[in-house]
Structure 1
Amino acid sequence: MMKQKVWLALLRGVNVSGKMLKMPALKSALEQAGFKQVKTYIQSGNVLFTHSEQDPAKLSAAVTGVIRENFGMDVPAIMADEAYLREVFENNPFLNGRNEDITRLYVTFLADVPTSSLVDALDRQKYLPEEFETGTRVLYFYSPLGYGNARMNNNFFENKLKLTATTRNWKSVSELLKMLGEMNVQ
């Protein structure tokens, strides 16, 4: 029997802009499709589970397929495991040496590595006081006026970088990392 690995699916655009997806219903649909130890965190599309599949692209397609089949919605899923999320957590440039207000920090998870020319083309000065820094398939985003007032939001980054993206606040990233760690101990 293949060893089960703990995964996190970060769903894009769930329970915002009209894509309503109840987490208990999603949990049930995933369990019926063979996902194990399914847990959700808040209503914004954070799903933790164990699965024998090791390929994140195949898992992403499977999660997307379950949602399409059961709820009739196309919802991209960006996959993460504990090692990746820990790397994201430990390398936040707005906390390493800057100590910014964590309620104003966000992580935009990207479906792939952005093309460096597209990142370089973003005029960072134009969007101040908002700032971003790149990481491994993520953008660390600092919005001192709050995300609701941000000009560089998830849609902005998707359009400019030509990639699927989904954004989480720092509190959610912290909690999801904790939950992944707890599931890996079990």
Structure 2
Amino acid sequence: MPRYCAFFASMNVGGNRLKMTDLRDALEREELEDVETVVASGNVLFSFDERPSEGLSEMLAWIVRDRFGFDTFAAVRNADEIRAAFENNPFFGNGEDRLVHTLFLDAPADPAKFAAMLAAYEGRGPERIALGEGELYVDYVECVGPSRLTGAFLERRLERRSTARNMTSLRRIYEKMT
């Protein structure tokens, strides 16, 4: 059975508190197998019959909304896609792993909206930003917390939902999957 990781957005931040044991139990009731959480920020490893990632994303978001009452987005990736999320990140290897992030988008970003977002952010901070296929790559350079390049800014400008993970987390998850 194929193995996946679901990267949930807005979990255990901004009031959307959820115990990972409760999430794991809910997903196991929906016939996901070998469910394992990795840290408390909404990373869930699981096995499931072959199915397009988009369908899994919708199913997982529905489970959280139905069982726990909050809206989320789940980016679902297999091990090869997770490896690509750090290997294709142009800042991986030339920035601090904890500051270099891959933001998984709910769909590919429009290049024109990405260019407009870059123009709107020009001069606001030291971050380096690049567009991938269904990802956005960011090197926060100095610090993530006080950065003005927030998820809300990116989502509003790109008109895409996203969830971010740093290189340390992605490599740790990839190693658990392989």
Specify if TM > 0.5: yes
Aligned twin of 1:56? 53
Q: Secondary structure, in 3 states, of the residue corresponding to 1:108? A: strand
**CA distance in 1 between partners of 2:75 and 2:85 (Å):** 14
Aligned twin of 2:113? 118
Which among 49, 73, 77 is matched to residue 76 of structure 1?
73
Which among 82, 101, 106 is matched to residue 106 of structure 1?
101
Q: Secondary structure, in 3 states, of the residue corresponding to 1:148? A: coil
The residue correspondences of 1:15-94 to structure 2 (distance < 5 A) are 15-94=12-91
C-alpha contact 1:108 1:138 (8 A) present in aligned 2 = yes
Between the aligned residues of both structures, percent identity stands at 30
C-alpha contact 1:88 1:136 (8 A) present in aligned 2 = no
Q: Is residue 11 of structure 1 aligned with residue 45 of structure 2?
A: no
CA offsets, 1:83-119, max 9 Å, x none?
A: 11111121221135xx222222111111111001001
- CA shift, 1:128, in A, is 3.5
Tell me which stretches of 4 or more aligned residues in structure 1 moved more than 6 Å. Answer: none
Q: Secondary structure, in 3 states, of the residue corresponding to 1:44? A: coil
CA gap 1:81/1:128 in 2 versus in 1, 3 angstroms: same
- CA shift, 1:159, in A, is 0.8
CA offsets, 1:111-134, max 9 Å, x none?
A: 111001001112253233111111
- CA shift, 1:30, in A, is 0.5
Name the amino acid aligned to 2:24.
K
Q: Secondary structure, in 3 states, of the residue corresponding to 1:48? A: strand
**CA distance in 1 between partners of 2:23 and 2:4 (Å):** 15
**CA distance in 1 between partners of 2:50 and 2:67 (Å):** 21
- CA shift, 1:50, in A, is 0.5
Which among 142, 146, 154 is matched to residue 145 of structure 1?
142
Name the amino acid aligned to 2:66.
E
Name the amino acid aligned to 1:147.
V
**CA distance in 2 between partners of 1:129 and 1:110 (Å):** 22
Aligned twin of 1:175? 172
Gaps of 5+ in 2: none
**CA distance in 2 between partners of 1:30 and 1:163 (Å):** 25
Gaps of 5+ in 1: 182-186
C-alpha contact 1:88 1:135 (8 A) present in aligned 2 = no
TM-score by length of 2: 0.93
Name the amino acid aligned to 2:80.
A
* Aligned residues between the structures: 176
CA offsets, 1:56-105, max 9 Å, x none?
A: 12111211122122212222111111111111121221135xx2222221
**CA distance in 2 between partners of 1:128 and 1:25 (Å):** 38
**CA distance in 1 between partners of 2:136 and 2:54 (Å):** 20
**CA distance in 2 between partners of 1:113 and 1:173 (Å):** 20
